[in-house]
Chain A
Amino acid sequence: MEAVLRETAAPDTRSGRRTAGEPRKPWAIALSAVAPGLGSLAVGRIGVGAWILGAWALALVTLLISRDDVSRTLADGGTGDWIALVTLAATLVGVWVWGILDIAVVSTRPVKRTGVSQWRIAGRRFRRNHLAMTGLAIMVFLYWVTLLAPFLAPYDPNFQGNIVLNRYQPPSMTHLLGTDKFGRDIFSRILYGARISLSIGFISVAISVTLGTIVGATAGYFRGWVDTGIARFIDMLLSIPRIILLLVIIAMFEPNIFLLVAVLGLTGWEGSARIVRGQFLSLREQEFVQAAKALGYADWRIILRHILPNTLAPIIVIATLGIGNVILLEAALSFLGLGVQPPTASWGSMVNDGRDAMITAWWISTYPGLAIVLTVVAFNLLGDGLRDALDPRLRT
């Protein structure tokens, strides 16, 4: 084991924040093998050690509370159950390996001697930003929860049970966050609702940022009437408030989840288009682009291989901040009853469900709203941190 580890560590001359040549400590590795992170803590890598230990504890607790689900999955489980099981296993193995690697490889890395890439500098700056790291941790945790929802949720999200006895139950040990007017468990519904919010957020932003990048690159690279035309079109689109535009489109069709993803993705690309256009306008005048042109490269090659990689940083930032925004919009549309349709659990529609019983059952609306706040805060923290790390000039 140790020989293998030394071999992987030896040729690694990449940077590390540790000073050179710290001897590997076998006792610390052993400690980390028993409880990942403990070894790192023992040699003074407090920050990383705490994260690893926390992740390990979380994974173990999850295994403990879902042991019945695990055996059920092995006996006869659906796709969702198997995904959850694989995720749980991967988490346990991953955290354990992380713990070993951190103590055996990363902490003993010698000081780097070669140059450092821009991305590496940004990564280092990002890791020093505690708020941004917290945002990242919450985001990873939320996506993890969406995969593990069948194990973590104590009930099926649409299970009603005895509706007369079960409805409007206040938060208790049987129903952690209470039940709604149909006797459905709020906690389970929030876990399943995370799937809707996070996947809609991710896919819609992927669509809109791709679209915005294509449009912005076209406008900025070719300039002239193409640029003018696109700029006017964007002005026009921006003059209709996004939520009104969404409502107009959704009103024409039957609202469903695919329509929602499509319209959220096809609106809201204006911001990224404007930023990419600005980047292209300044980059196309640079010498390396002139050189590429002089070499006779095709336009698409210059755009994709030479200019686009230089605009990635602002695109990543705007995508991260965009996810938070789209999650808010999806919640708003579902709240109005024009987004995700019942009985599918969505945070927005859950807030709406609680509206007619605000006085008697405050928990129905309150907790899904808190889930939205937590998620959006995480994405905004992450986006702000990425912006500070990748392009400090953009800081407001």
Chain B
Amino acid sequence: MIGYILKRTLQAIPILLGASTLIFFLMHAAPGDPTSIYIRPDIDPIVIEQMRKNLGLDQPVHIQYVRWLSSFARGDFGFSFSQKRPIIDIIKDTLPNTLLLSSVALVIIFALGVLVGTIQAVRQYSWVDNVATVGAFFFYSMPSFWFGLMLILLLSYKFQLLPASQMTSVNFEFLPASDQWVDRLKHLLMPAMALGIGSAASVARYMRSGMLEQIRQDYVRTARAKGLSERVVIFKHAMRNALIPVITLLGLTLPFLVGGAVLIETIFAWPGMGRLIVTAIFQRDYPVVLAIAFVSSIMVILGSLIADILYSVVDPRVRVDEGEA
């Protein structure tokens, strides 16, 4: 087991290296360099030249690449032109918020998807199944940003149930600790819903077909024949096996969550990395844009690593196959 985890982790390193190389060369393919925003008639070209020297931009590409890589590996992402502070500090502020939003969305995706898919499979072709199938199809085809806006329109403006934006209320600091939790949760609910609903729909689809496959197996018939209650048969026997393909979906869902956060955080004014990349683009703050691209690819690679490891935990066959190959 430990050997497998180690092997997978080692495989992830060249991918990360490759992704960061890609990001570096994308940056270099772009016209101009970071100093070009300072090129103005009132600034002496000598100053620009000195600036390029200080930043190491006069060096050959391969030397720049090695320097850039070693500073990224040490967590030094450079300096943000628009916020006038080190990028690593900005990321330290925003990353936890994005992680919080994504993990709550992940919980919603899997809880909702597995639940709905299981109910659909157990009651195949009933009206519940049909309604859920049609519903899943619509949610799957819906733009998340539009769904988010519709949630705000209905739940915040029309019925005034949930707050429309930000992570906390204005008077958050003055609330007692117990209410602070409720306040945070209220602010989380809508963005996490909007972020997760599309993926939840596709999890439900996979869960339904996986579950349908399992409940026709012999071992399920055996379990029923020995007199186990239907609940035990479904939840302890069939569901365990039906969950295996859903766990591979976990790895595939992560890029969607990280990418979807860009839109959802913008709509709900959530102070996370996604909203940061959009503002950075409009302020032409390239170092921030690239740092966020790098951090999000780390998140995706780590996520699929965790999914792979989880997969080998629930299905030992994967490990054995890998070992033989």
Interfacial residues, chain A to chain B (CB-CB below 8 A): 232-233, 235-245, 247-253, 324, 328, 331-332, 335-338, 348, 351, 354-355, 358-359, 362, 365-366, 369, 372-373, 376-377, 380-381, 395-396
Query: When A and B form their complex, which 3 residue pairs have the shortest distance between CB atoms, in order from nearest?
Result: A369-B146, A252-B30, A241-B259
Chain A residues whose CB sits within 8 angstroms of the CB of B152 once the complex forms = 358
Chain B residues whose CB sits within 8 angstroms of the CB of A242 once the complex forms = 255, 259
B141 CB contact (under 8 Å) in A336, A354, A377: A377
Task: Give the Cβ gap from A12 to chain B, nearest Cβ, in Å.
Answer: 38
Interfacial residues, chain B to chain A (CB-CB below 8 A): 14-16, 18-19, 22-23, 26-27, 29-31, 137-138, 140-146, 149-150, 152-153, 157, 205-206, 209, 255-256, 258-260, 262-263, 266-267, 277-278, 280-282, 284, 286, 289-290, 292-293, 296-297, 300-301, 304
B289 CB contact (under 8 Å) in A247, A253, A380: A247
A236 CB contact (under 8 Å) in B18, B142, B280, B286: B18
Chain B residues whose CB sits within 8 angstroms of the CB of A235 once the complex forms = 15, 18
A351 and B293 contacting across the interface, CB-CB below 8 Å: no
Chain A residues whose CB sits within 8 angstroms of the CB of B31 once the complex forms = 252-253
B15 and A243 contacting across the interface, CB-CB below 8 Å: no
A232 and B14 contacting across the interface, CB-CB below 8 Å: yes
Task: Give the Cβ gap from A340 to chain B, nearest Cβ, in Å.
Answer: 15
Chain B residues whose CB sits within 8 angstroms of the CB of A232 once the complex forms = 14-15, 18
Instruction: Give how many A-B residue pairs fall within 8 Å (CB-CB).
Output: 143
Chain A residues whose CB sits within 8 angstroms of the CB of B259 once the complex forms = 241-244
CA distance in complex: A313, B31 (Å): 41
Instruction: Give B262's nearest chain A residue, CB to CB.
Output: A243
Instruction: Give B266's nearest chain A residue, CB to CB.
Output: A336
Chain B residues whose CB sits within 8 angstroms of the CB of A362 once the complex forms = 153
CA distance in complex: A335, B265 (Å): 13
Chain A residues whose CB sits within 8 angstroms of the CB of B284 once the complex forms = 251
A338 and B19 contacting across the interface, CB-CB below 8 Å: no
Task: Give the Cβ gap from A144 to chain B, nearest Cβ, in Å.
Answer: 21
Instruction: Give A233's nearest chain B residue, CB to CB.
Output: B18
CA distance in complex: A201, B265 (Å): 25
A240 and B150 contacting across the interface, CB-CB below 8 Å: no
CA distance in complex: A354, B145 (Å): 12
Chain A residues whose CB sits within 8 angstroms of the CB of B157 once the complex forms = 358-359
Task: Give the Cβ gap from A335 to chain B, nearest Cβ, in Å.
Answer: 5
A247 and B277 contacting across the interface, CB-CB below 8 Å: yes
Instruction: Give A381's nearest chain B residue, CB to CB.
Output: B137
Task: Give the Cβ gap from B99 to chain A, nearest Cβ, in Å.
Answer: 15
B266 and A380 contacting across the interface, CB-CB below 8 Å: no
B22 and A240 contacting across the interface, CB-CB below 8 Å: yes
CA distance in complex: A305, B140 (Å): 37
B205 and A240 contacting across the interface, CB-CB below 8 Å: no
With A245-B293, A377-B138 known as contacts, the answer to whether A238 contacts B145 (CB < 8 A) is no
B255 CB contact (under 8 Å) in A238, A250, A328, A372: A238
B23 and A248 contacting across the interface, CB-CB below 8 Å: yes
With A331-B143, A372-B143 known as contacts, the answer to whether A239 contacts B290 (CB < 8 A) is no
A244 and B258 contacting across the interface, CB-CB below 8 Å: yes
Chain B residues whose CB sits within 8 angstroms of the CB of A248 once the complex forms = 23, 26, 289-290, 293
B256 CB contact (under 8 Å) in A237, A241, A252, A358: A241
B145 and A332 contacting across the interface, CB-CB below 8 Å: yes
Task: Give the Cβ gap from A259 to chain B, nearest Cβ, in Å.
Answer: 12
Residue of A244, A332, A355, A365 with most chain B CB atoms under a 10 A cut-off: A244
Q: What would be 9 A-B contacts, judged by CB atoms less than 8 Å apart?
A: A239-B304, A240-B19, A240-B293, A243-B263, A248-B293, A249-B26, A331-B143, A354-B149, A358-B157
Chain A residues whose CB sits within 8 angstroms of the CB of B293 once the complex forms = 240, 244-245, 247-248
Given contacts A239-B301, A376-B141, 9 further A-B contacts (CB under 8 A): A235-B18, A236-B22, A239-B304, A244-B292, A351-B145, A355-B267, A369-B149, A373-B138, A396-B209
With A247-B277, A336-B262 known as contacts, the answer to whether A240 contacts B137 (CB < 8 A) is no
CA distance in complex: A233, B18 (Å): 8
